[in-house]
Amino acid sequence: MTLYSAMRRLRISSTYLFLILLSMVMSFPLFWMVMTSVKPQREVFTQFLPRAITFANFDRVWNAMNLPLHLGNSLYVAALVIVIVVITSTLAGYAFGRMEFPRRNLLFYVFISAMMIPAQAILIPMFSYLNSLGLLNTQIGLGLSMTGGSIAFATFLMRSFFKALPSELGDAGKIDGCNDWGVFRHVYLPLSRPGIATVVIFQFMGTWNEFMFSTTFIRTPTLKTIQPALYQVVGRYAIDYTALSAGLLLAIVPILIVFMLLQKQFIKGMTAGALKG
């Protein structure tokens, strides 16, 4: 028995040891980035932990690369995509999840087949297409270019969400005198908030972090969203690690805040596709 408990203790402590070491390795890049961002420039390569903390780097990069502008651009594009995706996918998800109509399953597969198309496949035609619509190099064009793939996945999520709600609710609504629209508007829509929240978070994350379309479809520097803007300034700050670290950190903050506030929904939103198959 003592041997058994000794073994058990050994196993638990080695598990802890492994997890702690791994946490150190995993958090090292971010920890180093935070440390570097608050270091005086001359300490970059000599001191691992800063001797004194300075916020001068944040000042420098905030002004030099006009961070508020690019963060604002990203927010604008994200908001545009989120509004379009939430409205269209809630409606379509409801139709597929709660309505009866001929060819429903076939139509559903047509709808979500867009999920399977990688962005690369439509990158080049989208470029000339936006150009012909006069939307190339505009934030509206960039936002619209991202809607196709997003709506498919969001519809998929909203459908499974609506499907999981009990149908007795709708029947009760009908008895109370609601028509089909009323049942949607007053019974199911208020209940779909968690589903919508998942879609919003997923979409915010996807749009905020998007790089390929953003870097290709927008050329004017002042219109650029945050990811391509960061990529662009690297040349300028290639060896100014303090400023670059500060810039990267500031670009992470908005998404980090969302993550901290809504950790559960955030993880659910991100893994929704994987878990629901």
Least Cα distance to 86 among 208, 187, 203 occurs for 203
Pick one of 52, 125, 166, 168: the residue that binds another protein (CB under 8 A).
125
CB 248 within 8 A of CB 70: no
- According to the binding rule CB under 8 A, does residue 204 interact with another protein? no
Using the minimum distance from each CB to another protein, give the nearer residue, 23 or 222: 23
Site for another protein in 150-179 (CB under 8 A): 151-152, 155
CB atoms within 10 A of CB 196: 20
**Total of residues contacting another protein (CB under 8 A):** 86
Helix 139-164, helix 119-132: angle, nearest 10:
130
Span of 29-37, 49-57, 58-66, 190-198 interacting with another protein by CB under 8 A: 29-37
Under rule CB under 8 A, which residues in 223-242 are in contact with another protein? 227-228, 230-231, 234, 239, 241
Helix/strand/coil (H/E/C) assignment for every residue in 9-53: HHHHHHHHHHHHHHHHHHHHHHHHHHHHHCCCHHHCCCCCCCCCC
Pick the closer one to another protein by CB: 2 or 132.
Answer: 132
CB of residue 223 to another protein, shortest distance in Å: 17
8 A C-beta contact, residue 123 and residue 211 = no
39, 58, 111, 269: residue in contact with another protein (rule CB under 8 A): 111
Residues 6 or more apart whose CB falls under 8 angstroms from that of 1 comprise none
Task: Collect all residues with Cβ–Cβ distance below 8 Å to 245 and sequence separation of at least 6.
Answer: 33, 34, 36, 37, 57
| Residue from the set 34, 64, 122, 189 that interacts with another protein by CB under 8 A | 122
Does residue number 274 form part of the binding site for another protein (CB under 8 A)?
Answer: yes
| Nearer to another protein among residue 32 and residue 55 (C-beta) | 32
Q: Which of residues 44-103 bind another protein (CB under 8 A)?
A: 44-45, 84, 87-89, 91-92, 94-95, 99, 101
The answer to whether residue 197 forms part of the interface with another protein (CB under 8 A) is no
